[in-house]
C-alpha cells in the first residue's frame, strides 16, 4: 500500500472525478437555459399521488365483487319455511330439505315411510 505509483494513480483519479473542469459552470448554465423547470400545481400533485391509491381501491373492489359472484347463495328461510319445519317430521325434513343426505339413511327412511 506504500507504492508511490499506486498512490499517485488514486490521487489523479480522485482529482479527475471530484474536481470540475474549467467550463463546468458554463455547461451547467447552458443546460439550465435549454429546459425550463416544470411548474406543477397543488392539484396536479394531489392527483398524481391519488392514482396508486385509486388503482388499489378499484382492484380491491373488483376482487370483492368477484368473490361475491363465486359465492354460493344460501336459500332464505322465510316465515313459511319456519312454520313448515314445525309440522314436518324430522324424517321427511331430512328427505326434502337437506341438500345431500347420506344414502343409507335415505334408503332406510324411504322403506320405513313406504311401509306405513
| Domain spans, the chain | 4-70, 79-115
One pLDDT digit (tens) per residue for the chain, 116 residues: 578 888 888 888 888 777 777 888 888 888 877 777 678 888 888 999 999 999 999 999 999 999 988 887 766 666 666 666 667 666 666 666 666 666 666 667 667 765 65
Cα separation, 35 vs 26, in Å, equals: 15
Q: Give the pTM.
A: 0.35
Amino acid at each position: 500500500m506504500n507504492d508511490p505509483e499506486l498512490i499517485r494513480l488514486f490521487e489523479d483519479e480522485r482529482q479527475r472525478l471530484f474536481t470540475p473542469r474549467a467550463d463546468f459552470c458554463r455547461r451547467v448554465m447552458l443546460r439550465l437555459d435549454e429546459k425550463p423547470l416544470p411548474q406543477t400545481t397543488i392539484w396536479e400533485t394531489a392527483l398524481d399521488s391519488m392514482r396508486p391509491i385509486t388503482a388499489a381501491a378499484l382492484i380491491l373492489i373488483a376482487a370483492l365483487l368477484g368473490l361475491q359472484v363465486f359465492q354460493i347463495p344460501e336459500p332464505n328461510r322465510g316465515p313459511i319455511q319456519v312454520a313448515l319445519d314445525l309440522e314436518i317430521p324430522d324424517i321427511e325434513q331430512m328427505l326434502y330439505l337437506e341438500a345431500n343426505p347420506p344414502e343409507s339413511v335415505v334408503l332406510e327412511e324411504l322403506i320405513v315411510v313406504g311401509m306405513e
